[in-house]
């Protein structure tokens, strides 16, 4: 049986590249896309090559980046623009195959197996050229017979490069690489492996599947499969419908929350975004979950069942508020809050005509909230606001739905 032909296409410094396309002057200076330091979202999201050469790293704090590169120019993220370019790139990929699977906003796998054009390296070079000419961006492409090695290949040469990992070269290319470069070997797994003397992917393979399972459970078997190139996970088709299992938003606030009124204002703002997303995907929640982090960075979560499956802020926000206040102690300082709708059910399964007074009221509230969705869609998320949001504008001057982007699912699926 012939090997598959898998490509992994990674858009280089994606956020920063889109900003440089928009503002060409940024190409000649070290720049980075970063969250808002005033609202305590001060981390580096992406950086250009000049910033990278100065030592700036993704996910480090702004003040750390500025220490390395005092002349660093910071620009705020524009997620709507990034999604636009991400869709343009995927549309281009779909000209070659219908098996295009997103892995984040800026990465995709392509399966060319059985396609009219299945020369992986030739197509990779053509994609690299076309993305540059048609979108003004650059990509790095990995080519291999499995998704894991294709992903690793796209990481090996950046920017604007093609790397092939084949049956003939993978022992020399893959096995000497640091174990951290293998997909899903995070910090905790890396530390555990290093404690037993494993520093390279080849050394991980030498442990064997049984020993890895004894240490990591079934994840150990996945790591062995990934490292040896035995993974046969398919590339899913473009546009595959992914069942939504939960919808949530969280926010690190401009200042710590001290009062019940502040907590309620932020909770309602988050709940409005969550319930609007529920209506977008046609789902109703049977459970509400809240998360809190205090000023000492202590985290905890709580959840509660709802009386009826719902997609109404009118019902979810009070439930979330009660959960939070039941676990809020006087004098506690809350740094961030999150609201999540869980245990979802398609709204189509709930549609039935009812003449009970409380159901008629729920139907009226649904029409009201859908009207608000429409107004906000036309005129912006802050065009229609609750009175409680005016308690402290520094806390609630957020278009939460727009600011929080739902990215595609990861490798293991939902």
Q: Write out the catalytic residue numbers.
A: 107
The whole-angstrom separation of Cα 92 and Cα 69 is 36
The whole-angstrom separation of Cα 33 and Cα 47 is 6
> Which residues are bridge partners to 247 per DSSP?
341
Sign of torsion over alpha carbons 116, 119, 122, 127: positive
233 burial via Cβ count (<10 Å: 0-12, 13-18, 19+): middle
Q: Is the peptide bond before 159 cis (omega within 30 degrees of 0)?
A: yes
Closest CA to 272 of 325, 320, 308: 320
Look-up of token digits 């919808």: 247
DSSP state of 389: G
176 in the Ramachandran plot: left (φ > 0), alpha (ψ -120 to 50) or beta? alpha
CA distances from 119 to 162, 230, 310, 329 (A): 13, 21, 50, 63
Tokens of 69: 């590169």
Q: CB 220: neighbour CB atoms within 10 A?
A: 20
The whole-angstrom separation of Cα 257 and Cα 269 is 14
CA distances from 167 to 7, 209, 222 (A): 15, 21, 20
> Which residues are bridge partners to 7 per DSSP?
110, 143
Contacts of 356 (CB under 8 A, 6+ apart): none
236 burial via Cβ count (<10 Å: 0-12, 13-18, 19+): middle
DSSP state of 23: -
Closest CA to 263 of 384, 395, 393, 390: 395
The whole-angstrom separation of Cα 409 and Cα 107 is 12
Tokens of 27: 């190409």
Indicate the length of the chain as a whole number.
414
The whole-angstrom separation of Cα 174 and Cα 194 is 18
């Amino acid at each position: 049986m012939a090997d598959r032909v898998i490509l992994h296409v990674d858009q280089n410094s994606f956020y920063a590249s889109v900003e440089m396309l928009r503002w060409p002057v940024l190409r000649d200076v070290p720049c980075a896309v970063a969250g808002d330091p005033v609202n305590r979202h001060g981390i580096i999201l992406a950086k250009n090559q000049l910033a990278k050469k100065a030592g700036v790293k993704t996910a480090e704090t702004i003040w750390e980046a500025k220490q390395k590169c005092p002349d660093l120019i910071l620009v705020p993220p524009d997620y709507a623009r990034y999604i636009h370019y991400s869709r343009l790139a995927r549309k281009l990929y779909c000209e070659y195959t219908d098996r295009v699977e997103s892995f984040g906003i800026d990465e995709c796998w392509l399966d060319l197996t059985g396609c009219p054009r299945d020369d992986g390296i030739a197509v990779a070079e053509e994609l690299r050229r076309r993305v540059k000419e048609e979108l003004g961006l650059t990509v790095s492409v990995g080519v291999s017979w499995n998704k894991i090695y294709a992903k690793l290949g796209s990481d090996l040469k950046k920017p604007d490069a093609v790397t092939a990992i084949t049956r003939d070269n993978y022992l020399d290319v893959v096995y000497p690489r640091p174990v951290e470069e293998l997909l899903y070997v995070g910090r905790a797994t890396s530390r555990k492996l290093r404690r037993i003397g494993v520093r390279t992917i080849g050394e991980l393979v030498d442990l064997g599947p049984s020993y890895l399972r004894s240490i990591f459970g079934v994840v150990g078997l996945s790591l062995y499969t990934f490292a040896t190139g035995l993974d046969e996970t398919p590339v899913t088709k473009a546009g595959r419908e992914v069942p939504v299992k939960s919808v949530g938003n969280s926010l690190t606030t401009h200042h710590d929350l001290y009062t019940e009124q502040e907590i309620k204002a932020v909770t309602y703002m988050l709940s409005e975004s969550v319930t609007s997303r529920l209506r977008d995907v046609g789902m109703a929640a049977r459970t509400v979950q809240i998360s809190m982090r205090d000023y000492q960075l202590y985290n905890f979560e709580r959840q509660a069942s709802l009386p009826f499956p719902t997609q109404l802020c009118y019902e979810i926000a009070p439930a979330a508020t009660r959960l939070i206040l039941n676990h809020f102690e006087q004098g506690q300082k809350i740094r961030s809050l999150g609201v999540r709708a869980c245990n979802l059910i398609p709204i189509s399964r709930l549609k039935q005509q009812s003449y009970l007074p409380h159901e008629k009221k729920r139907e009226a509230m649904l029409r009201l909230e859908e009207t608000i969705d429409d107004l906000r869609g036309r005129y912006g998320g802050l065009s229609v606001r609750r009175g409680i949001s005016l308690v402290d504008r520094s806390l609630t001057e957020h278009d939460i739905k727009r600011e929080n982007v739902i990215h595609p699912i990861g490798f293991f699926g939902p």
